[in-house]
Amino acid sequence: WEAHNSVHCSYSIRVLDENDPIISSISSK
């Protein structure tokens, strides 16, 4: 997992970035 952590993190950031409006809505709640 350690080795894939960086790749997974980068991918997660991309997904979060694209779904930022959705994340913001959830964060608002």
Q: What is the pTM of this model?
A: 0.22
pLDDT for 23 equals 59
The residue written with tokens 């980068």 in the block is: 10
Taking the C-alpha atoms of residue 25 and residue 21, their distance in angstroms, rounded to an integer, is 6
- 19-27: list long-range contacts, CB under 8 Å, 24+ apart: none
The whole-number average pLDDT for the span 5-10 is: 60
The whole-number average pLDDT for the span 2-25 is: 61
The string of pLDDT tens digits covering residues 14-27 is: 665 566 666 566 65
The whole-number average pLDDT for the span 7-14 is: 59
Report the candidate in 16, 11, 9 with the shortest Cα–Cα distance to residue 1.
9
